[in-house]
Chain A
């Protein structure tokens, strides 16, 4: 290492930006870590707001709660440009194919927040038409409880996603399920947890099945 005299300040060339010598410095890191650092601080959310939870999401984005502090204020209404799906609201069985399609259009890597009781579990709407939890069909990284969750909860979820990215963690393995839709046999997978593929164990999809009979079978019974 050579030392230089720069206007009376002693600095080491290559000591890093903190030397403040005005000279070029360098830092070392892993490329992956650098990419993750960039991703973590510039999440572009895709808002899938279908109900009241979306109001809280909008509040979170606006100036009072200011999601821009976390680098996630650039709401993208094009899935091609976003990497964080925020499902905020009830999803009906007519909406779910749309959600899946939009989700599939988002480029990798991508993450998903299931915001509120309805998106996570159907909430109070245990009716004939409402999906009881979007995680049955798309992988979810963070669930937010509440009806609706406070903006602080959404901020917390975004921070959890950031931590996940910083740990270089990718999507839950469930993703396979949506990418190869035709290979997936829902009845077989959920009916016997022990035989479920390793990718699905540990998720709630290895729980004992709900009633998975077809409509016709139920009518017979």
Chain B
């Protein structure tokens, strides 16, 4: 079985045209690089098309491309890349979709309407990278405390933080004994 990625490249190109930035291939793993504008349409197509049937979203994550070495800058038209890892149960094949998001406005449409699994994954990306997912049902921090400032996995975030661990409002949260 498996998916005919050559044919898929053609179909995607026909359907989404200028949205497609590149295809990558490494040892049989395929990646689709797109602009972020119509990301939900792209993902919906990949999920529903009988030739692909990527019904499972295994992961949503993000890459910060700040200050990449020159050799790698080519493949990174914007600062952030939101990465969707898709899996097709039917064809037993995987695809990595990268959608590039600029620093300002740092926004992309939410895929939570397509896969329930995207809900928490996108919250994590929001928490740690500060990407705003438009239309997300519940965009709150998921790992860091609710009153945390900043997005610690951004490359311009200092390694030892900005004083959060010394200054978080610890005492006020204790009930009077």
Most central of B144, B148, B165, B175 by chain A CB within 10 Å: B165
Min CB gap A201→B, angstroms: 20
Q: Mark B133-177, 1 if CB is under 8 A from A, else 0.
A: 000000000011100111010000111111111111011111101
The closest CB in chain A to the CB of B174 belongs to A181
* B143, B144, B166, B172: the one within 8 Å of A182 (CB): B172
- Contact A215 B164, CB 8 Å, known A94-B145, A96-B170, A129-B144: yes
**B167 contacts across to A, CB distance below 8 A:** 212-215
Q: In the complex, A131→B145 CA distance in Å?
A: 13
Asked whether A128 and B171 contact (CB < 8 A) given A94-B144, A179-B177, the answer is no
| CB of A123, distance to nearest CB on chain B (Å) | 13
Residues of B within 8 A of A131 (CB): 165
Q: B130 to chain A: closest CB distance in Å?
A: 14
The answer to whether B172 and A211 touch across the interface, beta carbons within 8 angstroms, is: no
> Quick check: is A97 within 8 A (CB to CB) of the other chain?
yes
In angstroms, Cα B165 to Cα A215, docked, is 10
Query: What is the CA–CA distance of A5 and B98 in the complex, to the nearest angstrom?
Result: 97
Shortest CB-to-CB span from B168 to chain A, Å, is: 5
A3 at the interface (CB under 8 A from B): no
Is A191 in contact with chain B by the CB < 8 A criterion?
A: no
Determine which residue in B144, B159, B168, B174 has the highest number of CB atoms from chain A within 10 A of its CB, and name it: B174
The residue that A127 contacts in the complex, of B160, B168, B172, with Cβ under 8 A, is B160
Q: Is the CB–CB distance between A129 and B175 below 8 Å?
A: no
A127-B177 contact given A97-B170, A215-B149, CB 8 Å threshold: no
Q: How far is the CB of A215 from chain B (nearest CB, A)?
A: 5
* Size class of the contact patch on chain A: 20 to 34
**Which of A100, A126, A130 sits near B170, CB closer than 8 Å?**
A100
Instruction: State whether A181 and B163 are in contact (beta carbons under 8 Å apart), knowing that A104-B177, A129-B152 are contacts in the complex.
Output: no
Q: How distant is the Cα of A179 from the Cα of B174 in the complex, in angstroms? A: 8
Q: Determine the distance from Cα of A94 to Cα of B143 in the docked complex, in whole angstroms.
A: 9
Give the CA-CA distance A210 to B144 in the complex, in Å.
23
Of A137, A179, A212, A215, which one neighbours B162 at CB under 8 angstroms? A215
Tell me, rounded to whole Å, the shortest Cβ–Cβ distance linking A170 to chain B. 16
- Give the interface SS of chain B, mostly helix, strand, loop or mixed: loop
CA distance A178 to B172 in the complex (A): 10
B165's nearest neighbour on chain A, judged by CB, is A93
**Known contacts being A94-B145, A127-B159, A128-B160, is A211 close to B166, with CB within 8 Å?**
yes
Q: In the assembly, what is the distance between CA of A213 and CA of B149, in Å? A: 14
Q: Which 6 interchain pairs have the tightest Cβ spacing? A: A128-B161, A181-B171, A97-B173, A181-B174, A94-B145, A93-B168
Q: Which chain A residues have a beta carbon within 8 Å of chain B's beta carbons?
A: 93-94, 96-97, 100-101, 104, 126-132, 137, 178-179, 181-182, 184, 186, 210-215, 218-219
**What are 25 A-to-B residue pairs whose CB atoms are below 8 Å?**
A93-B168, A96-B168, A97-B170, A97-B174, A100-B173, A101-B175, A104-B175, A126-B159, A126-B160, A127-B160, A127-B161, A128-B152, A128-B159, A128-B160, A128-B161, A129-B161, A130-B165, A131-B165, A132-B165, A137-B170, A178-B171, A179-B177, A182-B172, A215-B164, A218-B163
With contacts A100-B173, A129-B165, A182-B172 known, what are 16 further pairs, Cβ within 8 A?
A: A100-B174, A126-B160, A128-B158, A128-B160, A128-B161, A128-B164, A129-B144, A129-B164, A130-B165, A132-B165, A181-B172, A211-B163, A212-B163, A214-B163, A215-B149, A218-B162
